Amino acid sequence: MANLKEVKGRIQSVVSTQQITKAMKMVAAAKLRRAQDRIIQMRPYSQKLSEIIQNVSAGETDGADNPFAEERTIERVLLVVVSSDRGLCGAFNSSIFKATKALIAEQYSHVESSGNLVILPIGKKAFEHFAKRKYNVISEYSQLMEKLNFADAKEAAEMVMAEFVGGEYDRVDIIYNEFKNVATQIVRKEQFLPIKELELDEVADTNVDYIYEPSKDFIFEELIPKSLKIQFYKTLLESNASEHGARMTAMDKATENADDLLKELRLTYNRTRQAAITKEILEIVGGAEALAKG
């Protein structure tokens, strides 16, 4: 059995750790509220704009007019992997890494074997993970989540779009965590480029006849790139809110675990202390008896 000094030291250590986890939970909760407000405000606009773009693209008889909808043989692939900059957020990052590797194994193993699969990590954890495992990694935007804003996200999206139009990549997918609630984050694997067109029955259901103003060319040159940039930014906002939700949940669990551990340690401390007192009493009684006999 551990002595009193060791048990007391462990209790103090757990109390200090619990204070840290409580503070981190409060910080995560404050950041989550701001991140949640941003994504809730962005979703309706992003979804409606995406719907319009898909309908316009599906209504075209020839996808060549829209360079962002050009379907090609998949020989070069870019995967945009969105993670966090810091840990202590449960399975938030590991889920993304597993999903990315599963996607590569299921769909892009031939691309990886030919050396034409490239990963664009957004978040330090993704960069460290894939760079350490010798993947082809673009490090330029790995710190984008540190101070997330539309200007930086727009720059990254423009780079990805330009590379696709220039033929550097035939397919661009994004892997990220979608925010559902504080306790739930859903891993999403979405095709970013080329733009996915609606199926024929979906087009019939929408039954929208668009009038282009000022022109169809203007729509493709202005509205579609803008929509893609907003979709890209939305995925980063989703991941940002998910990160804070995951960290808040993880720190809440850690605080609860610290409570359980403290109960056990205090029980052990009391038992050890009681045993030490009993031992001292027995020694005193034994000494008194020895003196009486003497």
Name the residues annotated as catalytic. Answer: 89
Pairing of strands 184-193, 117-122: unpaired
Q: Which residues of the chain have pLDDT under 70?
A: 1-2, 54-65, 197-210, 216, 294
123 phi, psi to nearest 5 deg: 125, 135
Run of H or E including 80: strand 77-82
**86 inside domain:** yes
Q: Is residue 263 in a domain?
A: no
The residue segments making up the domain with residue 129 are 24-247
Position 74: which residue type?
Answer: I
Task: Classify residue 257: in a domain, yes or no.
Answer: no
- Is 36 part of a structural domain of the chain? yes
Q: Give the CATH number for residue 228.
A: 3.40.1380.10
Flag whether 150 is in a domain: yes
The number of distinct structural domains making up the chain is: 1
**Is residue 87 one of the residues assigned to a domain?**
yes
Residue 190 falls inside a structural domain? yes
Residue 276 lies in a domain: no
pTM here?
Answer: 0.84
Per residue in 67-76, pLDDT (tens digit) is 888 889 999 9
